[in-house]
Amino acid sequence: MNLVRGPVMRNEQTIMMISAVHVWTDTRIYFKEAQSLAQAGHRVIFYAQDFKSPKPDDVNLEMHYLPKRRRFMRWRHWWTLYHAYDQQPVTWLHIHDPELLVVGWLLKWRFGDRLNIVYDMHEHLPAAILTKPWIPHGLRRLAASLFAKIEKGLMKSCHTVIFAEIAYKQYYQTLNLKKVDVLNYPLKTPRKPSDKQPQAPFILVYVGVLTAQRGLDNMLNALDVLVNQMALNVQLKLVGPLNDDERRLAKLISTKHLGANCQLTGRLPYDALEAIYQSADIGLCLLTPTPNNVNSVSTKLFEYMAASLPIVASDFQNFKSLFQQYPCGVVVKPDDAQVVANLIKAMLIAPKRRKQYGETGRKAFEQVFNWESEAQKLLAIYQDNR
């Protein structure tokens, strides 16, 4: 485990923020929450998986980098994090993974009222379990039901639960703890003009984890129609870690002859995403209708809005409602490749329409869907309990 200790400015509250699953460059955890807390004067002791990116030296942030481990070996990090707190007990423990509720429960049992636990819920895991490919299909409902009971039991040791999506709150109404929505809106950044050349190929972009449930197959099937049936000069940039079968994906791209039209970048540093967005013409969010996808509003939509990108997204009711109020894109049945391709083509040949969608989305981001208001809700959790 590597350590980088940043200079300490002053100590309002000391918060240990931990994740055994996420890399330290996770946008929500590090760039939004940890930095917001540190900039407000709190001292943050930060643990997450290492990632090859320049290491920061932020005021009030003490960075600890955990080695990357396979899914079924991550329990080793639980032990590391338990002992990290034991050696440096603080008043606040901010947890970002549901499995770390076990660590929190054990620490609460040991330290009692001296410890306040904040559970940051990124997804509603009982619903997500229903579609986890590594869990046998016949066991998923049982596993989801069992985990829901265990999760609620462990959450009784928490001071506060943070919901990244408003929809998650409905499942936890009976729990007697503080509940706060801290939505995953993008950071407010200056707008920079695009340097994309008119003669360049049309570029479609997706930024996020790459799985079939997140629309990987839907995007490739639509690209197949655009390139091989419509003969359009289109490229698809897929930016993010691949959580799918690499051989299956390679075969799919090869079979459809899309190697020259599809770029997989892997996970990129946060500051590299701006250039990706500037090069793109349309942002894609063709998620499949899983329970969590349908009941959430994908962060990708707001990131595309911040980047002034017009959007083509799945026809979920939450997405429809957003686009009706802020016309910044269109919705479509995500698994109908022909219809998706037709919509994309219609947008590609209508630059004024794309520009209008992009400007509408950017304005909505600047006025409503940015991190500034959410940061205040996060800070209030700690400021109200000094």
User: What is the pTM for the complete model shown?
Assistant: 0.90
Of all residues in the chain, what percent carry a pLDDT higher than 90? 81
* DSSP state letters, 316-353: -HHHHHHHHHS--EEEE-TT-HHHHHHHHHHHHT-HHH
* Least confident among 7-11, 240-244, 265-269, 379-383: 7-11
- Which phi-psi region, left, alpha or beta, contains residue 105 (left: φ > 0; alpha: ψ -120 to 50)? alpha
Identify which has the larger pLDDT, 163 or 198.
Answer: 163
User: What pLDDT does 92 receive?
Assistant: 97
Confidence at 198, pLDDT banded by 50, 70, 90:
low
pLDDT tens string 4-21? 444 444 437 899 999 999
In the chain, domain spans: 2-185+370-383, 202-367
Write the pLDDT tens digit of every residue in 339-373.
999 999 999 999 999 999 999 999 999 999 999 99
Other beta carbons within 10 angstroms of residue 5's beta carbon come to: 11
Q: Long-range contacts for 72-81 (Cβ within 8 Å, ≥24 apart)?
A: 74/20, 74/21, 74/99, 75/99, 77/20, 78/20, 78/102, 78/103, 80/1, 80/47, 81/18, 81/20, 81/47
- The pLDDT, as a whole number, for residue 6 is 47
Q: Is the pLDDT of residue 289 over 60?
A: yes
The correct answer on CATH 3.40.50.2000 for the domain covering 2-185+370-383 is yes
Mean of the pLDDT values across residues 207-235? Answer: 96
The CATH architecture annotation of domain 202-367 reads 3-Layer(aba) Sandwich (3.40)
Mean pLDDT score of the chain: 92
pLDDT, tens only, 48-88: 999 888 888 889 999 999 998 777 677 789 999 999 999 99
> What mean pLDDT is predicted for residues 214-233?
96
> In the numeric block, which tokens belong to residue 262?
């599809």
Would you state the pLDDT for residue 193?
64
pLDDT at 331 over 90: yes
Q: What integer is the mean pLDDT of 235-264? A: 94
Q: Do domains 2-185+370-383 and 202-367 have the same CATH topology?
A: yes
89-114 average pLDDT score:
96
pLDDT for residue 9:
40
The confidence score (pLDDT) of residue 379 equals 96
Q: Cβ distance 348 to 170 under 8 Å?
A: no
pLDDT at 7: 46
pLDDT of residue 200: 75
**pLDDT value at residue 243:** 87
Is it the case that residue 151 has pLDDT exceeding 60?
yes
**Phi, psi (degrees; rounded to nearest 5) at 164:** -80, -15
φ, ψ at 351 (rounded to 5°): -60, -35
